[in-house]
Structure 1
Amino acid sequence: MQKYLVGTEEFSFNEDPNGNLYPISLAFTLDDFEFYYEPVDKLGIPFKIYQSVGKQYNPTRVAAYALANYNNFVEHSCQRSRETFLKCANWFLGFDDARYEYHFDWEDLQAPWISCMAQGEAASVLVRAYRVTNDGAYLDHAEKSLSPFFLPVSEGGVQSQLGDGSFFLEEYPSNCSTHVLNGFLYAMIGLREFCDSCDSAKHNALFMQLIESLNNNIGNWCNGSWSLYEDPAVKGGVNFCTPSYHNLHISQLKWVYTRTETPELRRVISSWESGKNSLPVRMRAFWGKVLFRLSNRAQR
């Protein structure tokens, strides 16, 4: 509730012309390590205890920990953060097929399943491990991590289509995927960062297709000057973002805008920023979230 009242700067945008930093700031997670990353295993890799399924490694949790430590290493020359980052990168490297599966059922997804968000964030981690070590094995594994982006959900990939036929990448790739925006944008970041390190016509072409999809359909995730977590036309309900996720969407779109300065994205960023800074809009989002949760209980 407090974040709705006063706002939040969580997931702010890292403006870095040199492209060294991961573009989404995760420093706040290290400041509250116990909440975001405990417990950890004997190698220091975080896992999570779910109420419904018990102990599980969540690839996006590992990736966030890696990227937060990478930024801390770059900004503060912290060697301990460098070591932690590489431990997490090696955890991803340990999956020979580079498919970072979730081994539990989640809503209508049945184990094992993969996520565009996990695959994309892993690529962001592995590309940076390549930069730090100059070991080509990391870059090769980053490319393999992105392979599901080229396959439809029906063939074990994460690619789907929006209502207009545009390509989309699914955070939760089920038969009735709801087009979760933040996972799609995390995936786009990983894809582009791989392209920056290894010029690939195939990957560049997909990235440009996804840019076009976003430009043509960003209105699907707009409700006034607030962002939506998923496409309401598919979900069947209006799932307002929390203030943290709303700020994440703004930061992710700012990153996209650095790659393609389209007027539509600039307009949406401006609108969402005005909503972020408006107490009445934040409270409207709060009550919208409450109403959504009353009929759509979250799995824990």
Structure 2
Amino acid sequence: MKKQTLPLAYPFDWSGLENFDYPLDANGIPQVYMGKKLGLKYNPITIAQYGLFHLQKYGTSNDESELKIAQAAAAWLVENFRDWRRDIGAWVYDYDLEFYGPKAPWVSGMAQGLGISLLLRIHQLAADDQILEITQRAFRAFLHPVSEGGVTACFPDGSLIFEEFTTEPPSLVLNGYIFALLGILDYAIFWQNSEAQDLFQVATRGLIKNLHRYDTGYWNLYDLHPTRRLASPMYLKVHVQLLRILAELTGESVFTATVEKWQRYLSSPICRFRWLTGKVLEKIRLFFS
């Protein structure tokens, strides 16, 4: 099968948003503190992002130590890839999350997408057939609904979305959805795969039709879960950058217009005050719910 080379640098830039200052295990793999009950846990999303971040640094510095960090993250993904359901392979979470409520074992569309993006780039530097097989099996999660072990769900209008947290009711987390989309596009480009390309286009059209649901008129929402949480300023910056990437990839004007609007929210003292007030009221509402 003919393959297309991906840019070594992942399109999202974590600079100023995430410093990846996590405890590392003996192999240099980050662990995330999940509270007193769970302690330190491996999070496939964090590990894949950590690898992509250091691969970006390798691309700009040619520092072999950065490449080794990225390769270690990829090796963890290979070693911890599991048979899941149907024909799907996945990075499976073996712990519950209190918020949203996914119960172990569960899988994440964001983890699947980021894992694919890192592994394909690592393969380009050192060919590994096992990595290619893993990406093919990981992609299958995007072909099945959550009820069948996949990561697909629907917006209220029926449009397709990929879930960061595979829950009922759907959480519809915006950044997780777009990171999943970028993984699908990487897969489509690398494999010259028409099924993945069609899936990316269908999902992008669905996002265009539903992007307004995340807009409050002065800020944006982190998700469309019934709790309707406002994004933090950091996550609003993440959303802006992700939409800018989609605008560049697709040429769709709605993404450009939304980027400009949400940037105005970030720079407006009035919008920031409304966000702060809304966040206080949100915490009170969630405390008593």
**CA offset at residue 96 of structure 1?**
4.3
Indicate yes or no: 2:36 matched with 1:46: no
TM-score computed with the length of structure 2 as normaliser: 0.89
- The equivalences for 1:84-95 within 5 A come to 84-94=69-79, 95=81
Aligned residues: 273
Verify: 1:254 aligned to 2:264, yes or no: no
* Aligned positions of 1:197-208 closer than 5 A: 197-208=190-201
Aligned equivalent of 1:58, options 26, 34, 43? 43
Q: Which residue number in structure 2 is paired with residue 114 of structure 1?
A: 107
The question of whether the paired residues in 1 share the 8 Å contact of 2:175 and 2:239 is answered with: yes
Q: Does the 8 A contact of 2:52 with 2:70 survive in 1?
A: yes
Q: SS of 1:131's equivalent? A: helix
Quickly say closer, same or farther: Cα 1:118–1:72, change in 2 above 3 A.
same
Residue 23 (structure 1) aligns with: 11
1:266 aligns with 2:259: no
Post-superposition Cα deviations, 1:24-43, rounded to whole Å, max 9, x if no partner, equal: 1124477x45xx321x1111
Partner of 2:283: 293
The CA deviation at 1:247 is: 0.5
Match of 2:59 in 1: 74
The list of structure 1 runs, each at least 4 consecutive aligned residues, that deviate by more than 3 angstroms after superposition, is 27-30
Question: 1:104 and 2:95 equivalent?
Answer: yes
Distance 1:171 1:224 in 2: 25
Paired amino acid for 1:49? Y
| Aligned-partner Cα distance in 2 for 1:88–1:73 | 14
Q: Distance in 1 between matches of 2:218 and 2:261?
A: 5
The question of whether the paired residues in 2 share the 8 Å contact of 1:238 and 1:288 is answered with no
- Matched to 2:255, the amino acid is L
Give SS of 1:60's match: helix
Asked if 2 retains the 8 angstrom alpha-carbon contact of 1:239 and 1:288, the reply is no
Unaligned runs of 5+ in 2: 1-5, 84-88
Paired AA for residue 104 in structure 1: Y
Q: How far did residue 198 of structure 1 move?
A: 1.1
Opposite residue 175 of structure 1, the aligned amino acid is E
Unaligned runs of 5+ in 1: 1-17
Once residues 246 and 239 of structure 1 are traced to their aligned partners in structure 2, the CA distance between those partners, rounded to angstroms, is 12
Could you say what the CA RMSD is over the residues aligned between the two structures, in angstroms? 1.7
| Partner Cα distance (2:266, 2:40) in 1 | 35
| Aligned partner letter, 2:10 | Y
In percent, how many aligned pairs have the same letter? 27
Q: What is the aligned partner in structure 2 of residue 187 from structure 1?
A: 180
| Alignment partner, residue 176 of structure 1 | 169
Q: Secondary structure at the match of 1:168?
A: strand
Which whole-Å CA distance do the structure 2 matches of 1:84 and 1:177 have between them? 34
CA distance in 1, matches of 2:251, 2:223: 24
CA-CA distance at 1:64 after TM superposition: 1.6
1:99-248 matched pairs, under 5 angstroms: 99-107=90-98, 108-231=101-224, 234-235=225-226, 237-248=227-238
Q: CA deviation at 1:294?
A: 2.5
238 and 161 in structure 1: CA distance in 2 versus 1, 3 angstrom threshold: closer
Q: Contact 1:37–1:65 (CA<8 Å) still a contact in 2?
A: no
